[in-house]
Amino acid sequence: MNSDGSYVYASPTRFEDGRGQRVFFITSAPPKFTTENYSNVLFSQGIGRSFVNSLTVTIPATIIPILIAAFAAYALAWMKIPGRAFMISVVVGLLVVPLQMSLIPLLKLYNATGFLSKTYLGIWLAHTGFGLPFAIYLLRSYIAGLPKDLIESAQVDGANDFKIFRRIILPLSFPALASFAIFQFLWVWNDLLVAIVFLGTEPDKTVLTYQLNSLLGSRGGNWEILTASAFITIIVPLVVFFSLQRYFVRGLLAGSVKGG
C-alpha cells in the first residue's frame, strides 16, 4: 500500500486465472458536528461580502416601491382624478409585460445617463419599476375595499387626503403592505438576472445568488460547501416570511368577501 492510500497488487509469477484477486478496504469515520463549513463559506468563499450586498440591494428595493405604490393605490382608489380608469387598465396591462423585454432599453438609458450604470441606485430603481405594477394592483384592490363611510366621515371632519392616507389608510392597509413586502423581498433576494445586468459582476458588488452560482461551477463535488451556502441564502427570507406570515393571507384575501 502506498502512502496516499492506493494499493497495487503484484505477483512474481504470471496471473493465470481470468481475474486477479480483489482487495478492498472498508473504513468508517464517526459523524462529527462542526460549523467549519459555514465558516469556510462566510469567510473564505466571498459569501459574506455578497450577503451584505444582497441586503443592500433587497431592503431599499422592497421599501421604495411600497412607499410609491401606497400613494398611487390610494389615489386610484379614492381620489377623483381624470383618466383614473385608464390608469388602472395600464397598471393591469403592465402586469403581463415580461421584464426581460425592458432590460436592454433600460440598460441603454442607464448607460446614457452615466451615473446610474453599475450602481446600487440603478438597481433599486430597476426593481422598483418592475415591482410597481403588481404593488399598485394589490394595494389598490385592498384600499378600495375599505369602508367608504370611514373615508367620508374623515372628509366631513375636515381631513385632507394626506391626513386620511397617513392616519386611516396606512394603518388599515398593513396586511396588504406586508403581503407585497414578502413577495418583493423574496423576488429581489432570489434574483440573478437583474443583478448581473444592472449591477455587474465586480467582486465588491456581486450579490449572493451570483456568488452561489459561481460556487456551484467551481465546487462541483464539494456538496458540504454547497449545502452550507444554500442554507445561508434562505435564512433571511425565512425570517422575513415568518415575521409577516400572520398578515400574508389577510392581505391577499381581504376585500374578496364582503359582509352584508
Q: What is the CATH number of the domain that holds 159?
A: 1.10.3720.10
Q: What is the span of the domain harbouring residue 233?
A: 37-253
Q: Among the listed ranges 113-117, 130-134, 213-217, 219-223, which one has the minimum average pLDDT value?
A: 219-223
- 28: in domain: no
- 260: in domain: no
- 4: in domain: no
Q: How many domains does the chain have?
A: 1
Q: Which three cell numbers stand for residue 16?
A: 493465470
For residue 122, which of 192, 194, 54 has the smallest C-alpha distance? 194
Question: 61, 184 in Cβ contact below 8 A?
Answer: yes
- 11: in domain: no
Question: pLDDT value at position 125?
Answer: 93
Mean pLDDT of 70-95: 89
- 199: in domain: yes
pTM of the prediction?
0.76
- 238: in domain: yes
Instruction: List pLDDT tens digits, range 208-251.
Output: 888 877 776 555 566 777 778 778 888 888 888 888 777 766 65
Terminal Cα-to-Cα distance of the chain (whole angstroms): 85
Contacts with 102 (C-beta within 8 Å, 6 or more apart), sequence order: 129, 130
- 234: in domain: yes
Banded model confidence at residue 255, pLDDT cuts 50, 70, 90 = very low
- 7: in domain: no
Give the DSSP letter of residue 19.
Answer: S
Contacts with 210 (C-beta within 8 Å, 6 or more apart), sequence order: 50, 192, 195, 196, 201
Distance set, CA 65 to CA 47, 111, 123, 163 (Å): 27, 23, 13, 21
Q: Cα-flanking dihedrals φ and ψ of residue 220, to 5°?
A: -55, -35
